Amino acid sequence: MRRLFRKSIWGNDRGAAAVEFALVFPVLILVLIGIIEYGSVFNTQLMLTSAAREGARTMAVSGDVGQARTAVINAAIGLTPAVTAADIVITPGTCSATTNVSVTIDYDKPYLTGMFGATVGLEGKSTRRCFG
């Protein structure tokens, strides 16, 4: 009687690993895509912060808003879509020895896959002492 039970449909383990893999695979792919998206957004945030730091340094040294905007755009060269002058806010517009200059970049980063929405809003910000 035991032999009959072992050979029945409930006693066979063939294909169990394939079924388990089919259940776990979509979750693994979702986690992998999430890691890639997070890495892309984090890299963009680092680039924006670095570009804002470069713009603040240029503004603090030269005191020229145009040079500071150009420095930000040149420092953020790897971003797609590119950072434009409209994305950059420099305050105050003039430098004196007792003020701080602040550069803020507002950027909408498109997701790579579009699974988590269309874009994520990022901000890079840096502050420096003028002529310091």
Q: Which helix (H) or strand (E) holds 98?
A: none
Is residue 2 very low, low, confident or very high in pLDDT (cuts 50, 70, 90)? low
pTM greater than the 0.85 cutoff: no
pLDDT exceeds cutoff 60 at 132: yes
Express each pLDDT in 61-98 by its tens digit: 988 899 999 999 999 988 888 899 999 999 988 888 88
Range of the structural domain that residue 41 is part of: 2-129
- Which residues lie below 8 Å from residue 9, measured CB to CB, with a gap of 6+? none
Query: Among candidates 46, 110, 113, which has minimal Cα distance to 82?
Result: 110
Query: Among candidates 63, 57, 66, 51, which has minimal Cα distance to 104?
Result: 51
Give how many domains the chain has, as a whole number. 1
